[in-house]
Structures are given as structure tokens and as C-alpha cells.
Structure 1
């Protein structure tokens, strides 16, 4: 009798084919459709004088690669946050982490106008770390502050506050035009050089996430159970938080603030593969990559021939999903 392949394994095996299909679709279709022969020529016989070749190599290819990486990073961050806090509503966008990165980048653009791309990444990471510290600090001080709904409210309030400071600073110092990229998450302005610079940081963040995946599974059972099993909970939380800070900070530095990916994808993944974070984290990464890349393709046709901001597309799916979670599981912690 033929042995059935476990669903998590099937997802990971199938994902490379789906990602390749998504990359090709993203390159082929947009405001201007580009034929297979042109794409082939751009890859293997690049002509700098050919406008279509330039669109493929300098616009659409970096765009889809960026979408895949960001989708994976945000989904992994959301999975870690939900497992670590046992909170179904946790995600980088809802907990204010992304807004902290935007504030730090705004600060960098105003006071260090000649900052390099690497400086932008580092400031974005610092902003993520500060936001995480503020949100968890407030949550720990308030009665029942770690409950899912209260923590989501705290994160939303802190995120809105940080975002407001960013907007006020950008307006006062007249850099709103420059900083608008990070508010509106324009994937079509993806910088290939920034992707190259961010890649080593991303490898560290993903490696940390995979390394602690088994520990996050135990942590998701509750702090008391984790301690009774001999787990060093403080160390695991520090490593998990560092991974979230790195992956979220990189995502914001690459394309700005994109919401709801880190909320939606971990739930879908958990439904498909169960509650073992050794599977949830890698599967969330591949599903998040595919989700954001497909959302980007959809954004090009939602109001054709004009592009819809990617944040609008993710919000169309994410807001109803968020409200559903509040209604169904808002008072329950992640089991």
C-alpha cells in the first residue's frame, strides 16, 4: 500500500514549483503584458537598449523577489509572535512593530539625510526593537495586559501613536514625499541593492526562527508547562523576539509597512499542519511568500489599468479575518 505523504511535507515539496509559477506570472502580467520570448531573452540575452528587458530585470523581477521575501518574513514573524505570546491576534502590524520601524526610518531620513541603505536597515531594526519593548512593557504593567484582545488594543494604540509621530515629523521637516514610500508599501519601487544588503540579516533571522521552533511549540503550551519541562523560557523569548525584530525590520526597510500578512498566514498554516512549530514556521514562510506575491499580482488588476496599493489588498482579506478572530477567539489564548 502506498504511504501517504504528510501535508506539511507536501506543502514544502510543492512550494518551489508554486513559487516559480508565481514569479513567472508576476513577470509576465501587469499594466503591460510581456511575452515568454521577451522574458527568456531578458534572462539569457539581456539587451540594455530593450525597454521590455529593462522592465523584466530592473522592475518586475526585483518586485516579485521582494514580495516573496517580505511575505515569508512577515508570516514567520507572526507565527513566532502567536506561539510565544499564546495570542491569536499577535502580528507585526497589529502589535506596532512595523510602525516602530517606519518611525526609525523617518528619523533617519530627517536627521541623517545621507544615510546609506545599510543605515536604513539598521535603523529599521532599532525601531522594531523599540516598538516591541514599548508594547510588551505596557502590556506587562496593565492588569490582564497579556490577554489577546488587550494586547492587540495596546499594540494598535502604540502603533498608531508611533505612526502619528512619523507623519508629524515628516510633515514638519517637509520630507513627506520621500517617506511616503514606507507608508504606502510600494513594491514596484523595490531596490535590488537593498535586497542584497538585507539578505544576510534575513538569513540570521530565519535561522534563529527555525532553531527555536521546537521550543516555541513547548512555549505555546504555557509558561508553567515550559518551565516544568526544563525550558529556559527567558532565553527562548529573547531569541524569538530578536528574530521577529530582524525579520520585521528588514521587511519595512525593503517595502514599507504591509499589514495582516503576519496575522492571516500563521492561522491558515496552523489549520493545515497542526500545532507543531517545527512545521508551522517553515510552512508559514512559504505560504506567506506565495500569498503576498499573488496579492501583488491581484493588485495590478483590481482597478486596471491603475495599480491598487498592496496594503489595500491585504486589508481586504485581513480586516474581516481580524474581526472574526476577535469574535471567535478574542477571549481565548492560543492553546
Structure 2
């Protein structure tokens, strides 16, 4: 059993946040409960190799469950209680949202946060596409409703609202995949002998002609690269789960050799300074840029 699961068993507050995980047994028996969970875990996952793989899955599911519970409380659940909200509660919710969007800024003050319309996407427990949420947000704003936006949208007065330019079906279907810490590792790219290589698999980065490949450079200077297969599913915001980025854009590569880069990201709206940071990162890692096409909207 991983550390996160053990904490959940011992923490009654966490158990209440995640339905179905609270235990009817008294807290004086945490060790016995943990032992029982371990036995169940082993029976489900079988061999040591399977347990290792299963641990990764469980850890990732816990990360997503905690993220969902935290954001849901900030967006909807607090308003369902029916009691006047205190100033301390409002500040606590604001801190949770700010931490989601500004994660990473402590390492790079010049990093880009998500563009304003995509803040909604990051703090939405379901991470629905920010562009779609913005359409409904505008309606909510004009209505001058006293209900918080996400409560209005999903539970309250706006739950039946269906816009022609963004049908409710699109709003619900287009959810951005936010990678957890474990999932993110599969997209991390390092530079070996001037070539881009996936750290986990060791395979060179090779983009597919006619498809869109995107990258994000984190504030800790970790590079992530992946294919954007479908709009409203996987975007620049996916890599860092809505956190701040030092650089973001698109690239073309063949057999690990970088062929072209450009600083386009609707989620992060990178500046010339952000793009220059990426160029510096590549040079510092001995990537030969002499034959790389640099498509830039800026004069570098």
C-alpha cells in the first residue's frame, strides 16, 4: 500500500472528502485496517511486478481523486452546505485556486500562467475546455446571479442553459486531460548528444507529418512533448496540470533531431522572453539550431 493510501486510512477528514473510503471502524484500529487493505491490494495485484504496476495506477488515481475533491469543495460543495460562508473560508478557497494556477511561479517569476479564460478550466473539477466554459461564464456574469459560477452551471439556475455556439453536450464532452505526476513521466524529454529522447522509453522524438505536436518547458526546466490528437482533450495545459510554464509551443522532430519550433499556445500565450528561454534551454543542452526552422512572431 502506498503512502497516500495509508494517510487516507488514518485521516478522517480525508476519508470524508472521498466518498466510499471512510471506515466505520474506530480510529483506534488504523494499523489493522491498513493491514487488511494491504492483503486486498496484494490479492488484486498478484505478483511483485504486478504490484509495482498497480502501485503506479493507484497512486495516480489517488492524485486525481484528491485534486477533484479539493477543487469540487472550492467550486460547488461549499455552497451546498446552506450556511453563511466565513471570510476565512473564502480566503481558503481562493488560496486553493491560486495554488492550482500559479504552481511553479516560485521557481520562475517570469513564467506564464494560463491565459485568463483557461483559469476556469484549471479550477473546474472536471477540467472542461476553458474556451467552452468562457461562453457559459459570460451568460452567468450577465445574469448577475448570486450563485457561484460552477454551482450555477452544474447544480443551480444555469443547469438547463444550452448555448447554440457551445451546446451543453460539447461542454461536457470536451474535457482536458490533466496529467498526474506519474503520467507526466511518459512525456518527459531529455537531450542526448543533441537529440530529443523520451526519458522513460529511450525512444527518439519523431513527430508525424500533418499532426500537431506540442511542448511545454516547466519552471524546473523539464521538457515535455506530446501529440495533440483532438481539440478539447489534450492541450499545453495537460502536461503541468494547469501549472505555470517557462515556455510552450509546437515543434517538429525526426529521429530525435529538432527540425522546427514556434511559440504558439492558446493556453499560455507565450511572450518573446518565454520563447528566448526555450532557445537558451536548447543551446545549453547542446542542441544544434543551425538547421532548425524558427517560426516566431517576435524579433529575437
For normalisation by structure 1, the TM-score amounts to 0.24
Higher relative contact order (CA 8 A, sep 6+): 1
For normalisation by structure 2, the TM-score amounts to 0.26
Higher strand share: 2
Higher helix share: 1
**Who wins on radius of gyration, i.e. which is larger?**
2
